[in-house]
A and B are shown apart, each in its own frame.
Chain A
């Protein structure tokens, strides 16, 4: 990591808070926006989500020791925010017919590489395993990185991913629209 790039720790010390907020938003906003757009698949919702997530993540960014740490907070908070949005939208929507659901093989693990499919499965999962599943299957983070991002042990990450896979298998076996 290049120290001179640590905008939040070096170049903005002592400047007006409003200017600092604007600079941080300009720097990290694209990463948040891209992430929200990817998860929500809707430009307008992603724009709204970007503002909300940035405000929530701002203090963490300001105190993060480097860009990787700042991104970890962005991933954590934007993932939870967007998944909640997806869940809430799902509650308002009509139930999905089972024949509209994707077909999965008996072993869903390889299918997880299909990010769209993974998102649909994640959206149906309990809250506690959703973030781990997104970070691992959709963001491609290693288990140790997921653990660091979420502030949990690697063992817990492994357990949650296993639970996600188990639930996905049940989902396939039952052919229903609800895993939980």
Chain B
């Protein structure tokens, strides 16, 4: 644990301390700071009082409403967190073409294939521009800086997934899990079991930066975690058909046009 640039504990550190989620060294360091810093000590007392108030009064009063809202939400929405995509689902289901992404796959073979729901790993990208409606992004389609993109994958049995990109200037970024050094397991939630024959909307939302030109996306599906540096190396070595050992790869390109 360290203080931030302004010499204080962040809200995250204080909340993690309250959740007993810091390891012993971090917790000890944070507590020492709380003893010495008036501002952080005051904030610590405040969150403890709030916790007490929540447990004594708020929890019991509000839990029934929360349960009712969750039940209603479960009934109305699918198991997946597709609320963001609901406006386009009608369009997507209207034509199989919207489900099909031209892509290249490697790891088992390098032949081009059509990633169709339920048959092979697939990556779909949806974008939102300003406050407009979400739209499905097709291969080679032009996007703009500040467009927000999200990903839907069909892991086809894979246990881990990573989505990353390499932009026109060669900058490599892990989009999902954002900024991570390795791929993310898909087994942490019941609805994300890898053998579930359905699509998964990944939770990361990415706002595109100003770098114009072609940007190559890669989705890496595997049974073991894959390191980001290996994915980057694969993109550098063969941008058109990247290959990552012990993984299946879906890769395609979109274009970022300047505003």
- A-to-B contact residues, CB < 8 Å: 1-2, 5, 8-9, 13, 17-18, 21-22, 25-27, 29-31, 33-35, 37-38, 47, 50-51, 54-55, 58-60, 62-68, 71-73, 75, 113, 138-142, 145, 147-148, 151-153, 155-156
Contacts and interface: CB of A to CB of B under 8 A. Distances in A.
A7 B223 CA distance: 24
Contacts of B73: 55
A1 B27 CA distance: 10
B203 interface: yes
A34 B19 contact: no
Given A30-B50, A67-B21, A59 B81 contact: yes
B47 interface: yes
Given A2-B21, A29-B59, A55 B6 contact: no
Given A33-B50, A71-B12, A153-B173, 16 more contacts: A2-B22, A21-B66, A22-B67, A29-B54, A30-B47, A34-B47, A51-B62, A51-B66, A55-B69, A65-B185, A65-B188, A68-B21, A71-B16, A142-B4, A151-B205, A152-B206
A47 B10 contact: no
Contact of A68 (B12, B51, B204): B12
B54 A33 contact: yes
Contacts of A63: 188-189, 192, 203
A1 B23 contact: yes
20 contacts: A2-B21, A5-B19, A9-B188, A21-B67, A21-B70, A22-B63, A33-B50, A51-B62, A55-B66, A58-B70, A62-B189, A63-B192, A63-B203, A64-B188, A66-B21, A113-B6, A139-B12, A140-B4, A141-B4, A152-B207
Give the contact-size bracket for chain B.
35 or more
B11 A75 contact: yes
Contacts of A25: 59, 63, 66
B168 interface: no
A29 B58 contact: yes
What 5 pairs between A and B have smallest CB-CB spacing?
A34-B50, A139-B11, A30-B51, A67-B21, A140-B10
A55 B62 CA distance: 11
Residue picked from B11, B62, B67, B173, most chain A C-beta under 10 Å = B11
Interface of B: 4-6, 8-12, 15-16, 18-23, 46-47, 50-51, 53-55, 58-59, 61-63, 65-67, 69-70, 73-74, 81, 173, 177-179, 184-185, 188-190, 192, 203-207, 209
Nearest to B5: A142
A140 B178 contact: no
A60 B53 CA distance: 25
A65 B184 CA distance: 8
Residue picked from B53, B185, B192, most chain A C-beta under 10 Å = B53
A21 B61 CA distance: 15
A26 B59 contact: yes
